[in-house]
A and B are shown apart, each in its own frame.
Chain A
Amino acid sequence: MDILNIFINLVPITLLQGVIYGFVALGIMIPFRILSFPDLTAEGSFPLGGSVAAAAIAAGMHSVTATLLALLAGFLAGCATALIHLKLRLNTLLCGIIVLTMLFSVNIRIMGKPNQPIFAQDNLFDILLGDYARVLPLQIALIAGLLAATAILLLLFFKTEFGTAMRAVGANPLMARAQGISIWRHTILGIGLAGSLCAVGGALLAQNQSFADVNMGFGVLLNGLAAVIVGETLVGRDTLPRQLLAPAVGAIAYYQAISLALALGLEPSDLKFLTGAFVLLMLAIPSMKGQRQPVKMRA
């Protein structure tokens, strides 16, 4: 009974977490699933988004502009990873590690210190919710609405000629080239897009908790990947709408599962191990069954 109570009490706050991390899950799904470009940059672009937003807001910038600035920064981080891969033909994971490690220094430079409080300033919630800025259900509704709008925009985007071309690059680069599609342009823009989504997630979290911390990205990639996998198990991924719905649903479900684990008495520090074990298991099942690898890399 106690466990259930703790869990139920945690629901609102973990729902909010879920919808915020939904952006990150979307930003992780795109490289892994659509571009066949397994990418770790999220681990750096997420705190980058938080740092940029917090530093900009602390410096007096409007929170909407600050969030857009974070989006741009994340885009550039993604572009950097993609460019390194395309130029130097290094493994995509290594490119991501290089960029996310370098971003650690960049983030501290941006904030001028390892963390940046923004308690005193108006954030996105203050601006959009006014007097109700501290009402949790409204915060959840606001972010859930933004997340849904983002997923719908992405769905429309991936149905345009440009978005279709981007999907072709991930599915079959040889064929894409033969159709006149530039692998470079679409990979850079696609990974950039993914970076912006992660950065927006970071910017939203920073504003919600009223501070950014350079370490806020630690483990976010695996959480996001776990969320994507959970979502795909729940809603599938055989159509574009499902593939885009999965990260959002998965992020929400994943943070509920985390909260349940906490309610059951696990330490927060145990969760990284559990998440890792879960992802490992989900990746291992298809390969043990001899099915195709769930994470695809380009030939």
Chain B
Amino acid sequence: MLTATGLRKTFNAGTTNARIALDGVSLSLDEGDFAVIIGGNGAGKSTFLNSVAGEVTVDEGTLAIAGRDVTALPTHRRAGLVSRVFQDPLAGSAGPMTIEENMALASRRGLPSRLRFALGGKRRETYRQMLRVFGLGLENRLTHKVELLSGGQRQSLALAMAILTTPKLLLLDEHCAALDPKTAETVMQATLAAVENQRLTALMVTHNMQHAIDYGNRLVMMMDGRVVFEARGDDKKNLTIEQLVERFHLVDDKMLLA
């Protein structure tokens, strides 16, 4: 479903501020794979997700989603294949627009916008149902502006928007990190439910080691722009936090020695 080969990205190349963010990342996801990415700050996790989404154009390497080579496509032309939830709850929706208008945009993700009214009668019920899952009362506030919502409500909306039409690939970049623990848990459970029910292929960045072990069928550890450890299936299930932390240090030490 996703094939990334040899992705390289250097920010501010050729200047004294040059930063290698991706140093040859290859990763391949099968349909239905749910990969959790972990790694320290600056490991390149966000850059990797951004390059998959199209926000970052890679210097080298190729990207294919659902069999389509998207390497040269800008973000908006990949939107039919990929949807995402950002870490910043404000990033995923348009504040001055209403909940239902945001949902309407999401319902046409990747499709050309037409000169037809964005809001139609029977869609509302679909939106309501999707938002009811979060138990935040969003379903009764369809005509409210999104900027009036709390961070947790807004992130729930962002998730609802991302899965409203089933994407080939769902990208989640620490999407619960900015929320209070209780809301984070709600949004995480809703995420897991959606991945399961809609059989989504997903890439999720998290800094929560327990989540990394508990959720998904693949685990990817990144460091300094590279994938340094991978586990899947039972190997992944049997991992412990201690082992993961050890891995981190192992790689760390190797880096130091190198």
Contact = CB atoms under 8 A, between A and B. Distances in A.
Interface of A: 157, 159-165, 167-168, 171-172, 174-183, 238
A179 B104 contact: no
Interface in B75-92: 75-77, 79-80, 83-84, 86, 90-92
A161 B117 CA distance: 6
Given A162-B113, A162-B114, A172-B91, A179 B105 contact: yes
B71 interface: no
Given A160-B115, A164-B105, 5 more contacts: A160-B114, A172-B91, A174-B91, A179-B161, A180-B110
Contacts, number: 93
Contacts of A178: 53, 75-76, 79, 83-84, 92, 109
Given A159-B117, A172-B91, A180-B109, A164 B79 contact: no
Query: Which of B76, B108, B111 gathers the greatest number of chain A CB atoms within 10 Å?
Result: B76
16 contacts: A159-B118, A159-B119, A160-B118, A161-B104, A161-B116, A161-B117, A162-B113, A162-B114, A162-B115, A164-B105, A165-B105, A167-B101, A172-B95, A175-B91, A178-B83, A181-B76
Interface in B59-82: 74-77, 79-80
Closest 3 pairs (CB-CB, A-B)? A180-B79, A171-B94, A180-B110
B66 to A, nearest CB: 15
A161 B94 contact: no
A159 B120 CA distance: 11
Interface string B177-202: 00000000000000000000000000
Contacts of B79: 177-181
A181 B95 CA distance: 16
B93 interface: yes
Contacts of B54: 177
Nearest to A168: B94
Given A177-B75, A179-B79, A183-B76, A164 B93 contact: no
A167 B76 contact: no
Nearest to B77: A180
Nearest to B84: A178
Interface in B144-172: 145, 161
A175 B90 CA distance: 9
B93 A172 contact: yes
B111 A175 contact: no
B97 interface: yes
B106 interface: yes
Contact of B80 (A159, A168, A172, A180): A180
A167 B113 contact: no
A178 B172 CA distance: 13
B155 to A, nearest CB: 13
Contact of A161 (B90, B118, B145): B118
B63 to A, nearest CB: 16
Query: Which of B54, B79, B84, B96 gathers the greatest number of chain A CB atoms within 10 Å?
Result: B96
A178 B74 CA distance: 10
Contacts of B116: 160-161
Given A160-B114, A161-B115, A171 B95 contact: yes
Nearest to B108: A161
B114 A161 contact: yes
B113 A171 contact: no
A171 B111 contact: no
B96 to A, nearest CB: 5
A162 B118 CA distance: 8
Nearest to A33: B96
Contacts of A181: 76, 79, 105, 113
Query: Which of B54, B95, B106, B113 gathers the greatest number of chain A CB atoms within 10 Å?
Result: B113
B92 A161 contact: no
A197 to B, nearest CB: 18
A189 to B, nearest CB: 11
A187 B43 CA distance: 35
Contacts of B145: 238
Interface string B115-157: 1111100000000000000000000000001000000000000
A174 B77 CA distance: 13
Contacts of A182: 76
A180 B97 contact: no
B76 A168 contact: no
A294 to B, nearest CB: 13
A167 B105 CA distance: 11
A117 B209 CA distance: 77
A121 to B, nearest CB: 35
A162 B83 CA distance: 20
B115 A168 contact: no
Nearest to A243: B96
A185 to B, nearest CB: 9
Contacts of A161: 104, 108, 113-118
